[in-house]
């Protein structure tokens, strides 16, 4: 069997992922970056060499380690596209075969098994995800189980098949593909796809049809989808070292508790949940179906439901529903991240200036790193808050807040002389207690 | 003994009962409409035939059933008054004797016992409620225990007795009364009273004096009074089928729990309370002296105190004090229905455009059906919110909101560049935890 | 041994102590006025006669009792300064020796022991507090352990020693000092200090150096410092008569619980804490490191942390952090006394019109007596609220509120016709619970 190298594309345009400043591939789930989870899947199917293409990032590099795997980093500017990304990896590949994939797609392990089988044949293949509704992406045109072309955005009703192109592309001899990329000139960000189309007219490629779960991490609310996947598939009941659980704490379902976590009285945790190292879950909390990073303090009387919380976040009597917070965010007492429209309709969010349907009827706030929110503030569903921002007390925030903002309510109030007050006895009230 | 038919007046002007859209007689207590409770009282004193006069309402009719009682519905426009109501019932009465009463008054069972005794004599009677302060209603003028006239609104100091006219009027031969009504012409809504006065000059009527509890359901906050009566008099400890009560739930006093109710951890319920079918009481709640309908979800950390909650209401970390909610109302996290003025004085409420003293120093909000209230909203004592309305997040609502309103705060805030932020270590705070 | 009388100066300018209306010396700690604690310290070192100089105040006088001590009150206008205060006491002293001290300084008992020893010698002495940074007060100039002068505000770098002048001044024959005061003419409030300086040129005085804890009660947030001292030094675990503690209450550390206190379910109290007579701690509270007066009701779901609460205060689902409340204050549900700036910097407070650094990065609100605060109101760190004031619901209060204020937010909102509402089924939500 030939030597096979995985090329894992971990760059990619980050603007749609705002207000996160972290790379999508570095978002941690269950204690390690998303990318590592995918590298581990590759290792399980026998690949021990990987080239990760990502923008230069010293901080990230040190975290990209998988026991028993030889991982090289090919750096690339994050604006240059997939074609350029693959070429950045070329120098590490030599004469090996090559499996190209995205770092930030989640698929089921059955697909990895199919890929493992397919790699035994010395033959190019691609993966086609079966779809039942129209997506505006590339569809495979097939002759039997052979792919003869990719039709980009064919338009509804003109789909050449029900299989769309997932980036799991296997090349026994990738040099042909590298040449095709190098020769492709395009001012659009589709050099990779054009080169692949060209190859398919020359090389026989098999399609692996795939009917399972697939979720790319594209918009920041997708963090919730990826979280759901990891929590439901990979989260087990676990209690790390030096965990302290006070009296009358109820833990239901699979809850993974890392080392040094402390959980205070009268709190309920409903799994699947992940609680990172050194995190303190305060008294009288409810934590449901959520992923909480390390070094957090949830404070008294907080409700965290179906949310992703980064590291070092602090709360106090908050409701955090269906929300995504990067690191080092704190909320003052009584602040609420609302997650449901009054009309219970789909929630929209601005992406690069355009209103986009998130296809969710429950979605809270998405908050970048280093944000401070005052007390009794209300943030409307789907709002995003840029990093390094302060949101003052008592605000009603109904639109996105840019990075580095100081945001304060116009609060007017009137003072007049108080003529109402008198010494009142409240003994009568006490009797009714 | 003659055949006796009860005529139960369940129509009546609904404007003072706004924002409820339900008929007063159909407001459910302890799982059945108010009217049914009164019909059951009649059955207990031996009456097995009743004519309920109410506006046409298909939905309501199916609910008016009492085992072993023959109930007929006489329909009437709700603006036509009591005289017309009685005439609507005439055709069902034939030659029977007749007890006329209101559907939406609460009196004690001792009065029903007195009525039962009195009906054994074939003699007209009325009921006089003993009062110790002046009310602007009709007073009986007596000679011994015989009523010789009704003096309407005599003015303080001019009361002919200390007995006011309750509508429990018994006619051995009601045809005389029907004739009197038919002959009375009035453009005021007092045909019934005028006809009764006229009769009293011709027929000898005894008065049954009554010194017990009496409460009509006139204004929507009276729902709280009626609720108090039913909770304190008729509520017993009961647990229906398929009730689930989690750990560390404290239930004190008489709490009636219907089928399929679920009560979550660390919640306390202080009776008397009624919890309707399929309702979910969330974690860390306190529920005191309240009546909660079916299909509700109280959510995490809610306090419901001395309140009446209809069916299918949803809460989440709310304080609901001394409030009345019709069906299908929901409140966002952190919203509060305030129930006490800062000066602890009596709470006023608008009724048909006029400010009215509710004679309560604790009264929260009254909310019609199908209302959605956002997060962190504050509603001032005595405010009423019309049906089908949305109240957006963070509002301070200090006046009544009409039906079908969309209500949004004028929220201005300023954005400027944040120069404050720096990576701060909160380890020192953690040490103080 | 000569007879020794303590002169305890309990007057002093109260403006810096606003919004408290109580005298500083009368603020209760652990169930008795601050002054009494200091008188008891004097008694422990053998002094059984004390003259308390304070403004005329009938209410206060009755509380100034120490078993076995002869206490006289010398009244004085609170604007006349320390020199005048001492002269007011003169008539009660006769030929006794005299120890002059402030009523509202806290020092450790080791200093009282040193004073006891020093009083055995028939010799004047003063106490010098060792400091390591510059304070703008009076410093002692020494020759060996003799004080030869007091240098007022010498300026940084010009300190004659590292000992500043604490008011613990002992005179074997105080008549000399009285004469000096009487002869000193000054239009500044420093007659006492000038007279003391003059004396030191004539009389040999020893200095007692003191290296322990010292805290005067000068600004209202100092109540928190004094509270910390008493809680950490003098608070023990205690449960009075007729205390009722419901199920699942956790009490950790030293918590002093007075008679008739009731503590409800699911509450945690983390000592050191003091809970005054007849106080009710509600369900699902957390109380940490706080001092709560008598007759209070904390309500449901309240968090009181590092705070001083006077008598007869009422709460309900509040967060009260690092705050100081005089008597008869109440907060509506959801109101928060914020205690941390978003930038986590030092908190400033206005004192006599000038912004002053409190040197605290955690400080909440300071509230005078008889104040009512509505629901969902947010008060910013370091804000002070004058007595007899009402703060209406939903406000964001970011500056001091004068005494006798009625304070209401300008709240605008828009009503329009609601076109959103429809009968929605929430069964799908219920399934996710």
* Mean predicted confidence (pLDDT) in C414-424: 70
CA B136 to chain centroid, in Å, comes to: 21
- For residue B268, give the nearest of C265, C418, C429 by CB distance: C265
Determine the pLDDT at residue A423. Answer: 52
Between B413, B416, B433, which is nearest A280 by CB?
Answer: B433
Check residue B421 and give its pLDDT: 58
In this model, does residue C23 exceed pLDDT 80?
A: yes
**Given a contact as 3+ CB pairs under 8 Å, which chains touch A?**
B, C
Is A417 within 8 Å of C404 when comparing Cβ atoms?
A: yes
Confidence of residue C421 (pLDDT cuts 50, 70, 90): low
| B30 CB-near residues (< 8 Å, 6+ apart) | B37, B230, B234, B235, B256, B274, B291
Tell me the C-alpha to C-alpha distance, in Å, between residue A311 and each of A295, A317, A377, B424: 6, 18, 22, 13
| Contact list, C428 vs chain B (CB under 8 Å) | none
The ranges of chain B with pLDDT < 50 are: none
Q: Looking at the DSSP assignment, which residues form a beta bridge with residue A32?
A: A29
Backbone torsions φ then ψ of C105, nearest 5 degrees: -105, 140
Q: Spell out which residues of chain B touch residue C301, defining contact as CB-CB under 8 Å.
A: 284, 286, 301, 303
The residue-averaged pLDDT of C192-220 equals 93
Q: Is A167 helix (H, G, I), strand (E, B) or coil?
A: strand
Residue C186: per-residue pLDDT: 78
CATH code matching the domain that covers A222-407, chosen among 3.30.110.60, 2.70.50.60, 3.50.50.60, 2.160.10.10: 2.160.10.10
Q: What is the CA radius of gyration of chain C?
A: 25
Q: How far is CA A426 from CA A422, A432, C312, C328, C341, in A?
A: 12, 10, 9, 10, 34
Q: Is the pLDDT of residue C410 over 60?
A: yes
C14-25 b/e (C-beta count within 10 Å ≥ 16 → b): eeebbbbbbbbb
Residue A108, min C-alpha distance to chain C (Å): 24
- Considering chain B, what is the average pLDDT of its residues? 92
Give residue C352's pLDDT.
Answer: 87
Model pLDDT, residue A414: 81
Domain assignments of chain C as residue spans, ordered by start:
4-216, 222-407
What order do you get walking across the sheet with C390-391 strand by strand? A413-417, C405-409, C390-391, C371-373, C329-331
List chain A residues with CB under 8 Å of C334.
334, 376
Q: What is the pLDDT of residue B430?
A: 63
The 10 Å Cβ neighbour count of residue C354 is: 8
Q: Note which residues in 343-382 of chain A have CB less than 8 A from chain B.
A: 343, 370, 372, 376-378, 380
What distance in Å separates the CA atoms of residue C202 and residue C86, rounded to the nearest whole number?
Answer: 20
Q: Report B:372-431 residues touching C (Cβ under 8 A).
A: 372, 376-378, 380, 388-390, 394-398, 401-402, 404-410, 420-422, 424, 426
The answer on pLDDT for C228 being more than 60 is yes
Strand order in the sheet with C384-385: C238-239, C255-257, C273-275, C291-292, C308-309, C324-325, C366-367, C384-385
pLDDT in tens, B257-298: 999 999 999 999 999 999 999 999 999 999 999 999 999 999
Query: Residue C430 has what pLDDT?
Result: 63
| pLDDT given at position C422 | 58
pTM exceeds 0.90: yes
Q: How confident is the model at residue C431 (pLDDT cuts 50, 70, 90)?
A: low
Q: List, for residues C280-309, the tens digit of each pLDDT value.
A: 999 999 999 999 999 999 999 999 999 999
Give the pair of three-digit tokens for residue A31. 């204690």
Could you please report the per-residue DSSP string of A334-361?
A: T-EE--S-TT--PPEEEETTEEEE-S-S
3-state secondary structure of A168: strand
ipTM for the complex shown = 0.92
Contact yes or no for C299/C281 (Cβ under 8 A): no
pLDDT tens track of chain A, all 433 residues? 579 999 999 986 678 999 999 889 999 999 999 999 999 999 999 999 999 998 876 667 778 999 999 999 998 876 778 899 999 999 999 899 999 999 999 999 999 999 999 999 889 999 999 999 999 999 999 998 799 999 999 999 999 999 999 999 999 999 999 999 999 987 777 899 999 999 998 888 999 999 999 999 999 999 999 999 999 999 999 999 999 999 999 999 999 999 999 999 999 999 999 999 999 999 999 999 999 999 999 999 999 999 999 999 999 999 999 999 999 999 999 999 999 999 999 999 999 889 999 999 999 999 999 999 999 999 999 999 999 999 999 999 999 999 999 999 887 888 888 875 555 556 666 655 5
Q: Contact B412/A408, CB-based, under 8 Å?
A: no
User: Is residue A300 less than 8 Å (CB to CB) from chain C?
Assistant: yes
Of A247, A300, A334, the CB nearest to C334: A334
Chosen for mutation from B265, B378, B381 (greatest number of chain C CBs closer than 10 Å) is B378
- Using CA atoms, how far apart are residues B137 and B71, in angstroms rounded to an integer? 31
Q: How many CA atoms lie within 13 A of A181 on its CB side?
A: 20
Confidence at residue B427, expressed as pLDDT on a 0 to 100 scale: 62
Is A202's Cβ below 8 Å from some Cβ in C? no
**Architecture of the structural domain at B4-216:** Alpha-Beta Complex (3.90)
Residue ranges of E strands in B103-171: 105-107, 124-130, 138-143, 146-152, 163-171
Interface probe with C: pick from B248, B264, B286, B323, most Cβ of C within 10 Å? B286
Using DSSP, how many helices (H) and how many strands (E) does chain B show? 8, 39
Q: Across residues C145-169, what is the average pLDDT?
A: 93
Query: Which contacts qualify for C66-70: CB closer than 8 Å, 24 or more apart?
Result: C66/C36, C66/C39, C66/C40, C68/C43, C69/C39, C69/C42, C69/C43
Q: Does C312 touch chain A (CB under 8 A)?
A: yes
* Chain A touched by B298 (CB under 8 Å): no
Residue A49: CA count within 13 A, CB half-sphere: 12
């Amino acid at each position: 069997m030939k030597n096979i190298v995985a090329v894992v594309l971990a760059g990619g345009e980050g603007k749609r992922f705002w207000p996160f400043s972290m790379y999508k591939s570095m978002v941690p789930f269950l204690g390690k970056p998303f990318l590592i989870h995918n590298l581990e899947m590759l290792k399980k199917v026998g690949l021990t060499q990987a080239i990760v293409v990502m923008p230069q990032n010293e901080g990230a590099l040190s975290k990209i380690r998988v026991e028993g795997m030889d991982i090289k980093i090919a750096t690339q500017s994050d604006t240059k596209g997939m074609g350029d990304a693959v070429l950045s990896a070329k120098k590490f590949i030599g004469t090996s075969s090559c499996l190209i994939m995205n770092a930030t797609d989640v698929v089921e392990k059955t697909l990895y098994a199919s890929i493992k089988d397919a790699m035994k044949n010395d033959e190019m293949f691609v993966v086609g995800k079966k779809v039942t509704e129209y997506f505006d992406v590339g569809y495979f045109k097939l002759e039997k189980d052979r792919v003869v072309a990719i039709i980009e955005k064919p338009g509804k009703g003109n789909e050449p098949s029900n299989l769309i192109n997932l980036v799991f592309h296997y090349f026994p001899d990738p040099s042909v593909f590298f040449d095709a990329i190098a020769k492709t000139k395009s001012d659009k960000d589709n050099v990779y796809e054009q080169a692949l189309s060209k190859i398919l007219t020359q090389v026989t490629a098999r399609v692996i049809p795939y009917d399972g779960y697939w979720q790319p991490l594209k918009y920041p609310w997708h963090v919730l989808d990826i979280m759901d996947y990891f929590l439901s598939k990979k989260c087990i009941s676990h209690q790390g070292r030096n965990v302290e659980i006070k009296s009358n704490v109820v833990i239901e379902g699979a809850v993974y508790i890392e080392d040094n976590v402390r959980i205070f009285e009268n709190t309920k945790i409903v799994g699947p949940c992940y609680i990172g190292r050194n995190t303190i879950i305060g008294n009288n909390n409810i934590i449901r179906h959520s992923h909480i990073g390390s070094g957090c303090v949830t404070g008294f009387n907080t409700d965290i439901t179906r949310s992703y919380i980064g590291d070092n976040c602090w709360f106090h009597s908050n409701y955090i529903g269906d929300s995504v917070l990067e690191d080092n965010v704190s909320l003052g007492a009584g602040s609420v991240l609302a997650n449901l429209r009054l009309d219970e309709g789909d929630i929209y969010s601005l992406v690069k200036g355009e209103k986009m349907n998130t296809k969710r009827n429950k979605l809270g706030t998405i908050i970048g790193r280093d944000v401070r929110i005052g007390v009794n503030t209300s943030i409307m569903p789907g709002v995003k808050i840029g990093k390094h921002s302060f949101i003052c007390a008592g605000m009603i925030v109904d639109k996105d807040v840019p990075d580095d903002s100081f945001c304060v309510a116009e609060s007017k109030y009137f003072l007049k002389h108080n003529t109402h007050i008198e010494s009142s006895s409240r003994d009568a009230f006490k009797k009714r207690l």
